[in-house]
Amino acid sequence: MSWRTPKSYRDIGVVLEEGKVLSSKELKLFEEAVKLRNILIHNYVYMVAEEVYQSLERLETGLNSIMCTLLDLERQRARSLN
């Protein structure tokens, strides 16, 4: 499987969608998480702790699902190397 190199955090999700790893719904969730990350890391907008907590609660289930998908993909790749 040959994938292009992502150019940004957001682009990682796009590459995974192009590779049929993420659905378009999961890509939107991934992009939402990247936006939140950018706000927190770069301090673009001040967010009170409650807003951060609510955002993380909203993203938690979907991001856990994406993580499981990525772990399964890596397990399959590792098996194919053996």
Average of per-residue pLDDT values in the chain: 93
Which alpha helices (H) appear in 1-82, and where do they start and end?
A: 9-18, 24-42, 49-81
Q: Is the pLDDT of residue 48 over 80?
A: yes
pLDDT at 34: 96
Q: Is residue 15 part of a domain?
A: yes
Q: Is residue 14 part of a domain?
A: yes
Flag whether 3 is in a domain: no
In a domain, 51, yes or no: yes
Question: Which amino acid is present at 19?
Answer: G
pTM of the model: 0.83
* Boundaries of domain holding 58: 9-81
In a domain, 62, yes or no: yes
3-state secondary structure of 65: helix
The predicted pLDDT at position 1 comes to 65
Of 81, 70, 78, the residue nearest 19 (C-alpha)? 70
**Quick check: is 2 in a domain?**
no
Residue 64 falls within a domain, yes or no? yes
CB-based contact 36:18 (threshold 8 Å): no
Domain count, the chain: 1
Q: What is the mean pLDDT of residues 2-9?
A: 94
